Amino acid sequence: MASENNRENEIKNMTTNVETVIGSGKFILETGEMAKQSDGAVIVRCGDTVVLATAVAEKREKEGMSFFPLTIDYQEKAYAAGKIPGGFFKREGRPSEKEVLTSRLIDRPVRPLFPEGFNSETQGIASVLSYGDENISDVLGIVGMSAALTISDIPFDGPIGAARVGYKDGEIIINPTLAEVEGLDLNLIVAGTEKHIIMVEGGAMEVSEATMLEAIDRAHEEIKKLCRLQNELREKVGKPKRELKPAAKDEALEQRVKEFSFERIKEAIKIPDKLKRQDAMNAIRNEAVEKLNDQADDKTREISDAFEEIEYRLVRDMILNENRRADGRTPDEVRPIYGKVGFLPRTHGSALFVRGETQALCATTLGTADDEQKIDALEGESFKSFMLHYNFPPFSVGEVKFLRAPGRREIGHGALAERAIKNILPSKEQFPYTIRIVSDILESNGSSSMATVCGAILSLMDAGVPIKAPVAGIAMGLVVEGDRHVVLTDILGLEDHLGDMDFKVTGTENGITAFQMDVKTSGVSRAIMEQALEKARIGRLHILGKIKETLEAPRENLSPHAPRIYTMMIKPDKIREVIGTGGKVIRGIIEETGVKIDIDDTGLVNIASVDEASALKAKEIILGIVAEAELNKVYKGKVVRITDFGAFLEILPGVDGLLHISQISNKRVNKVTDVLQEGDEIDVKVIEIDRQGRVRLSRKELLKGEGDGS
């Protein structure tokens, strides 16, 4: 027993905690108790939300890597929210879309901060162990991963912090909860170091550039606190960093490559056409390898590295010194744009958007409530009525690859475009359709996600969706050398690859709807960000003009192939009558008319059909079922039962009224059957509806002055 207590005390003494207040919540970083065999492990807590972040790097480096082998995975445990997974196996399956997007969200600010020359395979895993209403597990994932790397022996130029920032009614909210997120005008996640911002991701309700900058500035104040907190933890428990051995350079070989290819590369990078430029560059590279390689000691990798360094320097120098880009444009110039719509006859809406050598084919499909996507997440079950799916087939860049399920990049680009458009769609009350847009990239040379936004808007308008305003997107780039920098408008794939920033902005004429920024350096200053936002605004307005030249406004009518949805309200206590016992009534209506019918708990009925006449017939049947008798109104009634004191008539489906013997005629009636028989149809007037809803009818009221009429 004593030894157990000693062990427990030993573990407690090994645990180290640091904490600070961010917004209205307390952030606690804890290490030393869990996952001790990883290179770095940190528990991050805020309220009821707890995330474990671990980092491990192989001790041996991978040779010949052209990219840093980093894998970041974010995973949500169902038990974290007190839930059991659905499905047959009752365990977590493949990552959800949210998990994929959050994995990317953690990866993007962390990746640029690993030093050049570090090529050991590295993996970070962020696991949600407890999920509260704080809506902060993704932010904790970023902070926890940075902290795990910071205290580990893995080379890392951090730490970084992160914060979600909301904006509503002129007020900035740091780390808004799930309840506060609803109705925000701006919802961003910002990550950065103490000095600079590295990543921004989020959506907005047409906010201004000034508001966006204000929100980022406010988030950076909290980020600085989190960076200082991690440094405090590093001072207490941090491991010495691994020694990096810089790769030996063959300066003589690099000089030979430069002498052989410099002038030829200089000319080749000026070729405007992407494929011709790539072919020319590949030919120069292959010739350099053939002529300069030592067959006894293969130097292909070193020659290619030297070749890429020359290309890197020349492209950037041309931009900085000549204000000229690879395709001949100036830094602020947008590539030629054109679009066309309505060319796919059986789709509900179609558009082709072309900007330079990037093409997006977008198709909009309209569906009913049955087509909504069910989301089963830690925060609860929900339904999604707008979906945008982005596909990037290999032929779009002239490659041959297996077609597989969408990867992280495709999911991320689709989510960005979806966020850009979501807030300008009509409400469900105004337009009760489920909307799916598919973007197939047919050709790509940079900014395919922004082409998707533009093409998607055109396809929505072609489908007749009454959007609030058109949205356009543009990708900005950056080249920085010392004190000099150039912001690039509408970047090429080459400029994305060789530049220092990928900065995407979407919006209407009135403001920003989505924003995504990734930096490949240690961060960008506020001044550069402000300049980039202003140039993006100008470029966005230019593209919006081109979109309006293609299609000025949404079409007035839906495609003849799209379902027509008619809405009506019924009293909630009538829902049971429309559905019937075991769904018998509603199934009968569907079988008779061929429509789709959806009824919610409030009594909202949606009737969907491609055939307008069928939808109207179904609506008429439902109106008949839920109709109620109106005082003093005349109905055609059918005699359904006869008694000694009168007859009961069905005046509406399910609504009977009593025609008393005294109200059958304006003359005396001795026996009901002398005048009426079951099955007879006669006109009657409603003369009374009592508190219990019982209906009294009169035929006599209609026969006044007409004689007997029997």
Q: Which class does domain 564-626 fall in?
A: alpha beta
Residues in a beta bridge with 697: 659, 686
Higher pLDDT, 603 or 124: 124
Helix (H, G, I), strand (E, B) or coil at 347: coil
**The pLDDT of residue 709:** 45
What is the mean pLDDT of the segment spanning 282-307? 85
- Kindly write down the DSSP assignment for every residue of 611-678, as one continuous string: SHHHHHHHHHHHHHHH----TT-EEEEEEEEEETTEEEEEEETTEEEEEEGGGS-SS--S-GGGT--T
Neighbour tally for 608: CB within 10 Å: 26
Amino acid letter for position 406: P
Instruction: Find all residues with CB under 8 Å of 18, minimum gap 6, and list them.
Output: 28, 29, 229, 232, 233, 236
Domain 13-237: CATH architecture, name and number where available: 2-Layer Sandwich (3.30)
Dist. CA 243–CA 355, nearest whole Å: 46
DSSP single-letter state for residue 395: G
Report residue 589 CA to chain centroid gap. Answer: 37
Give the whole-angstrom CA distance, residue 17 versus residue 318: 51
* Top-level class of domain 634-703: mainly beta
Kindly report the CATH class assigned to 251-322: mainly alpha
Tokens standing for residue 256: 């030979």
CA distance 5 to 12: 11
Quote the pLDDT of residue 396. Answer: 93
Alpha helices in 324-476 (DSSP H): 408-422, 448-462
Instruction: State the Cα–Cα distance between residues 201 and 546, nearest whole angstrom.
Output: 26
Q: Is the pLDDT of residue 654 over 80?
A: no
Which residue is it, tokens 């972040």?
53
Average pLDDT, the chain: 91
- Mean pLDDT of the 512-534 span: 91
Given a cut of 50, whether residue 590 has pLDDT beyond it is: yes
In this predicted structure, the answer to whether residue 6 has a pLDDT above a threshold of 80 is no
DSSP bridge pairs for 70: 122
Nearest to 506 by CA among 409, 419, 390: 419
Percent of the chain with pLDDT over 90: 66
Q: Above 60 in pLDDT, residue 296?
A: yes
Q: How far apart are CA 114 and CA 384, in angstroms?
A: 38
Three-class secondary structure of residue 97 per DSSP: helix
Q: What's the per-residue H, E or C state across 239-260? A: CCCCCCCCCCCCHHHHHHHHHH
Asked if the model's pLDDT at residue 92 lies above 80, the reply is yes
Instruction: Return d(Cα 700, Cα 669) in angstroms, integer.
Output: 11
Upstream peptide bond of 572 is cis (omega within 30 degrees of 0)? no
How confident is the model over 3-32, as a mean pLDDT?
Answer: 80
**pTM of the predicted model as reported, rounded to 2 decimal places:** 0.86
Give the range among 216-220, 230-234, 367-371, 690-694 with minimum mean pLDDT: 690-694
Domain 337-550 shares a fold with domain 564-626? no
Average pLDDT of the residues in 44-51: 95
| In the chain, where the domains are located | 13-237, 251-322, 337-550, 564-626, 634-703
pLDDT for 65-79, tens place per residue? 767 899 999 999 999
pLDDT at residue 284, as a whole number? 92
User: Is the confidence at residue 710, as pLDDT, over 50?
Assistant: no
Residue with tokens 């020349």: 314
Instruction: Indicate if the pLDDT at residue 348 is higher than 70.
Output: yes
Q: Give SS3 for 118.
A: coil
Quick one: average pLDDT of 436-440? 98
Q: What are phi and psi of 631, to 5 degrees?
A: -60, 135
pLDDT tens for 451-490 read 999 999 999 999 999 999 999 999 999 999 988 999 999 9
pLDDT digits (tens, 9 = 90+) for 393-431: 999 999 999 998 899 999 999 999 999 999 999 998 899
CA distance 554 to 560: 15
Best CA proximity match to 29, nearest among 174, 240, 228: 228
257 and 234 Cβ atoms separated by less than 8 Å? no
337-550 belongs to CATH 3.30.230.70: yes
Is pLDDT at 9 greater than 70 in this prediction?
no
In this prediction, residue 706 carries a pLDDT of 56
The 10s digit of each residue's pLDDT in 107-141 is 999 999 999 889 899 999 999 999 998 889 999 99
Q: Between β-strands 695-698 and 655-660, what pairing exists: parallel, antiparallel or unpaired?
A: parallel
Nearest Cα neighbor of 623 from 677, 669, 577 is 577
Q: Pick from 703, 706, 707: which is nearest to 663 by CA?
A: 703
Q: How confident is the model at residue 105 (pLDDT cuts 50, 70, 90)?
A: very high
- φ, ψ at 576 (rounded to 5°): -60, -35
Residue type, 80: A
The pLDDT value recorded for residue 624 is 81
- Rounded Cα distance, 160 and 512, in Å: 26
Q: What is the mean pLDDT of residues 531-559?
A: 95
Q: How many CA atoms lie within 13 A of 529 on its CB side?
A: 23
Helices (H), 472-628: 493-498, 526-550, 575-579, 584-593, 612-626
Q: State how far the alpha carbon of 603 is from the alpha carbons of 412, 570, 606, in Å.
A: 37, 5, 10
Q: Is the pLDDT of residue 12 over 80?
A: no
Q: What average pLDDT score do residues 664-690 get?
A: 91
Nearest residue to 363 via CA among 372, 371, 353: 353
Average pLDDT over residues 227-240: 96
* Alpha carbon separation from 154 to 228, 232, 332, 440 (Å, rounded): 19, 18, 40, 40
